[in-house]
């Protein structure tokens, strides 16, 4: 294990074990020493020593029944960190690298009531480009970003959103049937990639992947758009993987994790 400037492998291991305990406590309202030892796989004396230290630092407390629980200190620290994370600032260098790699226009969009909203755009290096701008609103049902955002909603929210949407046909490929839309959204959830196959604009195809926040919810979507004559169908899966990797990189900075 790599050493740090002020510590050694043993110190790093201690930090790891402390966070294991914290993460296990985050899954329950409270826990006694025996339960924590079983959940973490650590010896009870070891768990107890870490709990005492965490209590002194203000991260955990013990009630009158000898059950331990997390304080709000971690939440306070996390909230301060979130205040300093600007989604577009985090995403811009990653989106720029993706655009440079594929040569095409990259967008990032978020949910704005019953529409999507572009909050970031990196222009294609080619002369023929897609018309769009930051601040432009887009439909949820016929764009790759929109369908990504729609797919993540829970059943109730999604049904409410779809009921408020008029499935206006922008092109002959636009989905016009709610059942067909639900089937496609299920596919997006399963595969982690959405496609706009000339559904919003003739001659333009697009792929998008979800961006997750620290709670594991989709907060944005990252997309790449191609004029159809520049889209190599034999590289479809390769394109999708690159977009997913870039979206995952942004998610990682936002703290996406499953405890």
Per-residue pLDDT of the chain (259 residues; tens, 9 = 90+): 334 444 455 556 889 999 999 999 998 989 999 999 999 999 999 999 999 999 999 999 999 999 999 998 887 777 666 555 678 888 999 999 999 999 999 999 998 888 898 989 998 887 665 667 788 889 999 999 999 999 999 888 899 899 888 899 999 999 999 999 999 999 999 999 999 999 999 999 999 999 998 878 899 999 999 999 999 999 999 999 999 999 999 999 887 644 3
**154 forms bridges with which residues in the sheet?**
none
Last residue of a domain, one of 79, 107, 126: 79
- Please spell the DSSP secondary structure of 11-38, one letter per residue: HHHHHHHHHHHHHHHTTSS-B-HHHHHH
Same domain, 133 and 191: yes
Same domain, 117 and 192: yes
What pLDDT score does 258 carry? Answer: 40
Same domain, 118 and 188: yes
| Distance, CA of 75 to CA of 45 (rounded, Å) | 27
Same domain, 91 and 45: no
Same domain, 71 and 92: no
Same domain, 154 and 41: no
Single pTM value for the model: 0.67
Same domain, 71 and 197: no
What pLDDT score does 10 carry? Answer: 53
Pairing of strands 115-122, 68-70: unpaired
Give which of 43, 44, 47 is closest to 21, Cα–Cα.
47
What pLDDT score does 79 carry? Answer: 65
In a domain, 163, yes or no: yes
Same domain, 102 and 144: yes
Q: What is the total residue count of the chain?
A: 259
Last residue of a domain, one of 30, 46, 79: 79
What pLDDT score does 216 carry? Answer: 84
What pLDDT score does 133 carry? Answer: 76
In a domain, 4, yes or no: no
| Distance, CA of 147 to CA of 208 (rounded, Å) | 9
Q: Are 24 and 31 in contact (CB under 8 A)?
A: yes
Q: Nearest 5°: CA angle at 139, between 136 and 140?
A: 125
| Distance, CA of 144 to CA of 109 (rounded, Å) | 10
Q: What's the structural domain count of the chain?
A: 2
What pLDDT score does 5 carry? Answer: 41
Last residue of a domain, one of 42, 62, 79: 79
| Domain, as residue range, for 31 | 9-79
Gyration radius of the chain's alpha carbons: 23
């Amino acid at each position: 294990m790599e050493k740090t400037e002020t510590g050694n492998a043993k110190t790093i291991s201690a930090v790891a074990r402390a966070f294991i305990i914290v993460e296990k406590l985050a899954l329950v309202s409270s826990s006694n020493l025996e339960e924590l030892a079983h959940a973490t796989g650590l010896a009870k004396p070891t768990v107890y020593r870490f709990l005492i230290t965490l209590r002194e630092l203000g991260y955990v407390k013990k009630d009158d029944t000898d059950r331990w629980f997390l304080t709000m200190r971690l939440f306070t620290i996390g909230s301060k960190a979130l205040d300093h994370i600007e989604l577009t600032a985090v995403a811009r260098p990653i989106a720029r690298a993706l655009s440079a790699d594929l040569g095409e226009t990259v967008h990032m969009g978020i949910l704005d009531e019953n529409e999507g909203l572009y909050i970031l755009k990196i222009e294609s290096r080619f002369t023929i480009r897609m018309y769009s701008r930051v601040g432009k609103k887009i439909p949820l049902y016929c764009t790759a970003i929109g369908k990504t955002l729609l797919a993540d909603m829970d059943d109730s929210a999604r049904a409410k959103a779809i009921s408020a949407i008029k499935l206006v046909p922008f092109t002959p490929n636009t989905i016009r049937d709610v059942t067909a839309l639900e089937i496609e959204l299920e596919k997006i959830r399963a595969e982690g990639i959405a496609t706009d196959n000339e559904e919003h604009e003739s001659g333009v195809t697009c792929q998008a992947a979800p961006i997750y926040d620290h709670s594991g919810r989709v907060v944005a979507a990252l997309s790449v758009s191609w004029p159809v004559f520049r889209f190599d169908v034999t590289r479809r899966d390769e394109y999708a993987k690159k977009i997913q990797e870039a979206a995952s990189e942004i998610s990682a900075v936002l703290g996406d994790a499953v405890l």
